[in-house]
Amino acid sequence: MKQYTIRQYVAGLTLIPLLIMAAGLETYFLHDRSSDLDRDLMERGQFIAHQLATSSEYGVFANNQAFLKDMALGVLQQPDVRGVTILNAASESLVEAGEFSNTGNAPMNATQATARPSSKLKRVHASTITESVNRLTPTHSDGENLWIYQPIISAQVPLDESETSPAQQAGAVIIKMSWARTHQLQSQMFWLTIGATALFLIISLYLIYLAGRRITSPICELSDAVQLIGKGNLETCVAVPTRITELSNLVRGINAMATQLQQESAILQQRVEEATRIAAIAFESHEGMMVTDVNGEILRVNSAFSKITGYSGEEAVGQMARLLKSGRHDANFYAAMWKSIHHLGSWQGEIWNLRKSGELYPAWLTITAVKRGDGVVTYYVATLSDITVRKAAENEIKNMAFYDTLTQLPNRRMLMERLSQAITTSKRSGRYGVLMFLDLDNFKPLNDKYGHVVGDLLLIEVARRLTSCVREADTIARFGGDEFVVMLSELDVEKADPVTQASIVAEKIRLALAEPYTLEVQQEGQATTTVNHHCTSSIGVVLLTNNEAGLEDILMWADTAMYQAKRDGRNLIRFYE
């Protein structure tokens, strides 16, 4: 929809009645003045005809054409008179002067006068001769000329010297008047009226403009000021008009509002700056931070992020968040992550990421959805920290708690947990398991002769040989000192009975441990020393069957079988029955 300014409205609404008033005045003035001119021409013609009829009465009775000619030529000198005709009672033309086109002949000059009769004038005269002498003077107009008929009335016609007769029409006077000068005056009056009307409209519009400007200028200034205030220019101040009370009050109110908004904006700006400083400090924390849009495109990162991932801000911004994806997690992992984000608004957990160098590292990741007031997500903020050191510490603590620090084999604590799991599994599946308790023969003399360093090397080599003799699913644990435990889980009874399978593995272990040992000792500041040693083992075996025995009972049974092997001469295998 087209819009208009206040000035256009004021001008339009004022111009319409002005145009109507100007048109009415012009119509009234032109019509009134035109009527006056027409009436003036007719009255002057009637007056001239009446005077000529009165003055020419004697000449008509006397048939004095010279007298009548002088009269006619005198009338021709009057303005707008174009022709004169004087008739007698018989409708015969006594004098015709000037332009008289009704005769059908060419107009005569004003100096000519003839006595030629006119048939048309005769008809006019004949139709009028019987009318009352008090009747208004008949007129006839063809748009260009006006004919005025004036009868010549004789109050007393001398028939002889002693008799008189009543008043009667002795002749007639016909005057031809021209409308040309009247029409010219009317045309001049028309254009003068048009000009005066136009001047009136121009002056009126100018006055309207001046009045409207006095009214609309403050409104326009106020409108411009409000637009500037709406754009944030709160320092805008509008001059208060002094002549319009309502506008003055409105302007004062808007200026006060702008001042109040400016003060509140300054306070808000200070709070925003403080919040921005706090956010900047928080953003540049020791944890890596990343802001993405709803599609996962990285918008901003902090320096900790660059330090952790190896990607600078310029390299990361504009990339997708999957830039850090390691490939260590399957689709179910990410589906559960986004399900939590969509339903709870956040997710946190341990994840494997990929550095720019291609190195995998564990990270603790927290993702939070940033929502608008209507609940629509606009951004995602992710914080991540490198937990490599923590994971190493956790692994170290775990190793210390569950693994032997020398051989890196599970210790007694982990053995007990796995033994408990094996017994539970055996009860559920019905399959057998085997527990072997073995002790090295002649280990103490080695320690006494070469020291604990050589003894430790022997224990490490024993752990390696034990590992090579069993399956990956089986467990090898250092129980303490030179004692080791081997646990075989879920033996396949279809291949052979459990005793046979246990005997085969135990014999394999016995032979492996009975092989000679070549140990190279590196003493600080000394040359490498090679120690050759022969060591055997005594092995006690217990079958893990579907019974209700406790863990300590099973270990005690295996230990008893192992000591039976030592008593029987060492380097032997004994089963507990």
- pLDDT tens per residue across span 397-414: 877 788 888 999 999 989
Least confident of 209-213, 344-348, 369-373, 395-399: 209-213
Q: What is the pLDDT of residue 197?
A: 76
Q: Are strands 139-141 and 145-154 parallel, antiparallel or unpaired?
A: antiparallel
Contacts of 223 (CB under 8 A, 6+ apart): none
Q: What is the pLDDT of residue 494?
A: 65
Q: What is the pLDDT of residue 276?
A: 65
User: Where are the strands (E) in 264-329, listed by range?
Assistant: 288-293, 298-301
**CA 182 from centre of chain:** 72
When pLDDT is cut at 50, 70 and 90, the band that residue 207 belongs to is confident
Least confident of 233-247, 254-268, 371-385, 512-526: 233-247
pLDDT: which is higher, 330 or 117: 330
Distances (CA, A) of 501 to 240, 491, 504, 513: 109, 8, 5, 19
For residues 564 and 573, the answer to whether their CB atoms sit within 8 Å is: no
pLDDT higher than 70, residue 125: no
What's the mean pLDDT when you consider all of the chain?
A: 78
When pLDDT is cut at 50, 70 and 90, the band that residue 178 belongs to is confident
Q: pLDDT tens, 2-18?
A: 444 555 555 665 666 66
For the range 227-234, what are the long-range contacts, defined as Cβ-Cβ under 8 Å and sequence gap of 24 or more?
229/254, 229/257, 229/258, 229/261, 234/258, 234/261, 234/262, 234/265
pLDDT higher than 70, residue 327: yes
Q: What is the pLDDT of residue 23?
A: 61
Amino acid at 104: G
When pLDDT is cut at 50, 70 and 90, the band that residue 57 belongs to is confident
| Tokens read off for 77 | 């000198």
pLDDT: which is higher, 408 or 255: 408
Calculate what percentage of the chain has a pLDDT beyond 70. 77
- Residue 366: count of CB within 10 angstroms of its CB: 15
Q: What is the pLDDT of residue 127?
A: 43
Q: What is the pLDDT of residue 138?
A: 61
Calculate what percentage of the chain has a pLDDT beyond 90. 22
Matching residue, tokens 């291949």: 495
pLDDT higher than 50, residue 442: yes
| Tokens read off for 166 | 């009543």
Amino acid at 186: Q
The angle, 0 to 180 degrees and rounded to 10, between the axes of the packed helices 452-469 and 498-514 is 140
Return the half-sphere exposure (C-beta side, CA atoms, 13 A cut-off) of residue 229: 19
Q: Measured between alpha carbons, how far is 239 from 431 in angstroms, rounded to an integer?
A: 100
The angle, 0 to 180 degrees and rounded to 10, between the axes of the packed helices 65-76 and 6-55 is 170
pLDDT: which is higher, 156 or 238: 238
Q: What is the pLDDT of residue 160?
A: 44
- Helix (H) / strand (E) element for 241: namely none
pLDDT higher than 80, residue 115: no
Residue among 42, 20, 34 nearest 192 (CA) = 34
At 542, phi and psi to the nearest 5?
A: -130, 135
Q: What is the pLDDT of residue 94?
A: 87
Q: Measured between alpha carbons, how far is 382 from 341 in angstroms, rounded to an integer?
A: 12
| Tokens read off for 538 | 């005594």
When pLDDT is cut at 50, 70 and 90, the band that residue 280 belongs to is low
| Tokens read off for 148 | 């005025």
Matching residue, tokens 């599970």: 410
Q: Which residues of 391-404 are buried (b: 16+ CB within 10 A; e: fewer)?
A: eeeeeeeeeeebbb
Identity of the highest mean pLDDT range in 33-37, 102-106, 219-223, 495-499: 495-499
Region of 433 on the Ramachandran plot (φ > 0 left; ψ -120 to 50 alpha; else beta) = beta
Q: What is the pLDDT of residue 131?
A: 41
When pLDDT is cut at 50, 70 and 90, the band that residue 132 belongs to is very low
The angle, 0 to 180 degrees and rounded to 10, between the axes of the packed helices 412-429 and 388-402 is 80
Contacts of 165 (CB under 8 A, 6+ apart): 156, 157, 159
For residues 113 and 97, the answer to whether their CB atoms sit within 8 Å is: yes
Residue among 80, 151, 76, 74 nearest 108 (CA) = 76
Amino acid at 165: S
Region of 51 on the Ramachandran plot (φ > 0 left; ψ -120 to 50 alpha; else beta) = alpha
Distances (CA, A) of 389 to 351, 396, 484: 14, 10, 32
Q: What is the DSSP letter of 538?
A: E
pLDDT higher than 80, residue 38: no
pLDDT higher than 90, residue 565: yes
Mark out the alpha helices in 403-520 (DSSP H runs). 412-429, 444-450, 452-469, 498-514
Mean pLDDT of 333-352: 92
At 496, phi and psi to the nearest 5?
A: -165, 165
pLDDT: which is higher, 316 or 10: 316
Q: What is the pLDDT of residue 25?
A: 58
Q: Measured between alpha carbons, how far is 332 from 340 in angstroms, rounded to an integer?
A: 12
pLDDT higher than 70, residue 566: yes
For residues 120 and 103, the answer to whether their CB atoms sit within 8 Å is: yes
| Tokens read off for 40 | 């003036």
Contacts of 134 (CB under 8 A, 6+ apart): none
- Residue 136: count of CB within 10 angstroms of its CB: 6
For residues 240 and 252, the answer to whether their CB atoms sit within 8 Å is: yes
Question: Which residues is 10 bridged to in the sheet?
Answer: none
Q: What is the pLDDT of residue 68?
A: 85
pTM for this prediction: 0.43
For residues 425 and 526, the answer to whether their CB atoms sit within 8 Å is: no
Matching residue, tokens 């990270």: 363
For residues 568 and 574, the answer to whether their CB atoms sit within 8 Å is: yes
Q: Measured between alpha carbons, how far is 529 from 274 in angstroms, rounded to an integer?
A: 70
